[in-house]
Amino acid sequence: MGWFDGKKGLILGVANDRSIAWAVAQEVMAQGGLCGFTHLPDRPDDEKQKNRRRVAKCLENQPNARFLVPLDVQKDEDIAQLMHKTAEEFGKIDFLLHSIAFADREDLSRATIDTSRSGFHLAMDVSVYSLLAVARAARPLLNPGASILTMTYFGGEKCVPGYNVMGICKAALDACVRYLAFDLGSQAVRVNAISAGPLKTLAGSAAGVGEMQFLYEKIAPLQRNVTHEEVGRAGAFLLSSYSDGITGEILHVDAGYNIMGTPGRWLEELKGAAKPS
């Protein structure tokens, strides 16, 4: 018997087969869950429909993937249409994964102090407000005991140079998790977040993930980076009934990096390298 037998829900934010959302979705479906998926809308002039095609390719030979629809989280009408489709297909749902974030590349490349006003609004709308908007629209469909999960990062807790405006967005997202956990707790709905270590994804490529992975290998207690599969299993746990007593939490899946107050073992290595020969 699987963790998600008889369970149905939504997976928002798969871009391709390297997405964290896809890692979670694979584990959910392997455990019996039925999933509806969304993709970023394609431009009208994009005859190849690249965004839809990438996600559709992931869903091939996945009998538990029940539908795929476009979603622009900046449009309330898109969110409403998604929930209408969900109600038609599933009736009520038991889980919702929100794995959506975006900031203009030019704003990400600037020092945080130089973030444009329009870029700040865009990043906060897509990366933060979308969780509130989706949760509000999904509220009538959520079964008692349902779970909402979003994806955050350590750059919302501490300053991570290079993460810049997205770090501010993640700090706001973390606060949204806590306030949503309170708002939806009376409905017996839980809201949590996973803070994953750096992984090679489309989003990660814009944040210098290669340098960050080197740093994590050197500093994390486990002396390695985490894998997509590890994050996927943790995400499935938080979406499942096995985590029924957990809400408003941020679960770090980062090989322990977040607990360190110094470079740890790497400091000894650096000291050794600095000694005169």
List Cβ neighbours of 60 (8 Å cut-off, separation of 6 or more). none
Measuring CA to CA, how many Å separate 91 from each of 64, 84, 140?
16, 9, 10
Residue 151 — φ and ψ, nearest 5°?
A: -115, 125
| Nearest-angstrom CA–CA distance, 101 and 103 | 7
CB 184 within 8 A of CB 148: yes
List Cβ neighbours of 21 (8 Å cut-off, separation of 6 or more). 11, 12, 13, 14, 15, 97, 99, 151
| Per-residue burial over 146-182, b = 16 or more CB atoms within 10 Å of its CB, e = otherwise | bbbbbbbbbbbbeebebbbbbbbbbbbbbebbbebbe
> Is 163 tagged catalytic?
yes
Where in the chain does DSSP place strands (E)?
A: 8-12, 34-39, 65-70, 93-98, 142-152, 190-196, 250-253
> Which of 163, 179, 216, 242 is the catalytic position?
163
| Nearest-angstrom CA–CA distance, 169 and 155 | 9
CB 257 within 8 A of CB 224: no
* HSE toward the beta carbon, residue 161, CA cutoff 13 A: 2
> Which of 129, 153, 216, 257 is the catalytic position?
153
Six-digit token pair at 79?
């969110």
Q: List the catalytic residues.
A: 153, 163
